[in-house]
Amino acid sequence: MISIPFSWFGFTDWLIEQEAGLIIMFATFGTLLLTVAVLIILNIFGLKKYSLYIAGALFCSVFISMMVMIPLLLLFSIENSIKLQLVWLVIVASCLISFLSNRHYLDIYFNSIAKKANKEVKKQNKKRKK
């Protein structure tokens, strides 16, 4: 059993020992709040160029964690919340590593999409001027 040196009126004990479903809710909906907080912190420290990759990785981890963790709870009856937290950490870490390691290819992809969008806007502007 894990011992936590503090207790918020028994909340942490209850969360770790009895409520595995809340871990899944925190992993899905809490990640969206984490994304907003990380984006604000990155913009404060001037690391704006990494904000797209980290936000994309955290956003993708929301869907992957839903697809992995809900079946773990419902189909396989894994109710150990520590295991679910470790699974969630592995999911988030793998998404971050894959997005940051494929930064160059993501830049190429997003630039091609931006060029196509600019061409479409120019075509529409030419049609409106005529």
Query: What is the percent of the chain where pLDDT is above 90?
Result: 32
Helix axes 81-101, 20-44, angle to 10 degrees: 30
pLDDT category of residue 128 using cuts at 50, 70 and 90:
confident
Q: What's the average model confidence in pLDDT over 118-129?
A: 86
d(CA 29, CA 1): 27
Strand residue runs (E) in 65-124: none
| pTM score above 0.85 | no
pLDDT greater than 80 at residue 95: yes
